[in-house]
Amino acid sequence: MAVSDRAGYPETLARGHSRFRYGAQMDVPTINQDPVVAALARCPLFAGLGHDDLIGLAREMRTRRFRRGEVLFHQGDPGEALFVVTSGAVKISLPSEEGDEAIIATVNAGDFFGELALLDGAPRSATATALEPTETLALARARFRELIASEPALRDALLAALAAELRRLTTHVQELHFLDITGRLAARLTHLATGQGTAAGDGSVRLDARLTQSDLASMIGATRQSVNKLLGIFADDRLLRLERDAIVILDLPGLARIARR
């Protein structure tokens, strides 16, 4: 997710498929339930359910696998399922008619997404694309709504997640309006390092290569060339180190100070 740009995504499947038909390998029966139960227990949305409830829920989930660059659903598609990421990562983006995009979130293993269209019945508000080979669990809309109505713990977890997402988007809008490009990139790298980075013993934080410079640019409303230049400046100032497949944050407090200027 870092230092080089991709030439493009693999061919994606067309819209209009029937239920559970978005990805290349869809509707895989969950024969061995133990890994599915463990994955559901790690997801904040289902963490409040009892073990027996998780076992029952696991029987209703369907495994979906996606190639890197494959679209899970498009903006405007009907909302048919809730997704839980068990491995890999997914970006949630808003495409433009000119072919550009604004990335509004990245979703990693243990996270869930796709709940908004299931709650209000409106079409998908954004496009979801696999950043790398990704496996998800999918729960049909009707069953999801039954659980929301019958399980207070799940309903409370959903409300907490929606509140957290609203706060995150509020911060993002604030950054877009009040920070220059340098501050926005510093803020985005700080958020990524804090939420998704891998800390090392020397205090550095590693961001892997799932996101390209173009992806970073789409997150902060800038061009890839501007992001490339700023990363070079940050590297010269020893705030980070650019590696072939990663960005290593060397001075996280320093980046955070730039984001607050």
pLDDT tens, position by position, 156-187:
999 999 999 999 999 999 999 999 999 999 99
Residue 209 pLDDT class (50, 70, 90 cuts): low
Is pLDDT at 233 greater than 80 in this prediction? Answer: yes
Least confident range of 44-48, 111-115, 137-141, 211-215: 211-215
Is pLDDT at 29 greater than 70 in this prediction? Answer: no
Q: Which class would CATH give 180-260?
A: mainly alpha
Structure tokens belonging to residue 260 = 């607050």
Q: Where in the chain are the domains?
A: 25-172, 180-260
Query: Would you call 226 exposed, middle or buried from its count of C-beta atoms within 10 A (0-12, 13-18, 19+)?
Result: middle
Residue type for position 64: R
**What pLDDT does 1 receive?**
39
Cβ atoms of residues 37 and 43 within 8 Å: no
**What pLDDT does 8 receive?**
33
Is pLDDT at 61 greater than 90 in this prediction? Answer: yes
Residue 32 pLDDT class (50, 70, 90 cuts): low
47 DSSP β-pair partners: none
Average pLDDT of the residues in 123-129: 97
Is pLDDT at 152 greater than 90 in this prediction? Answer: yes
Select from 2.60.120.680, 3.10.450.710, 2.60.120.10, 3.40.718.10 the CATH code of 25-172: 2.60.120.10
Is pLDDT at 13 greater than 50 in this prediction? Answer: no
Q: If you write DSSP's letter for every residue of 8-33 in order, what string do you get?
A: -PPPPPPS---TT-SSSEEEE---SH
Fold matches, 25-172 and 180-260:
no
**What pLDDT does 244 receive?**
85
Residue 46 or 260, more confident = 46
Residue 70 pLDDT class (50, 70, 90 cuts): very high
Residue 12 or 100, more confident = 100
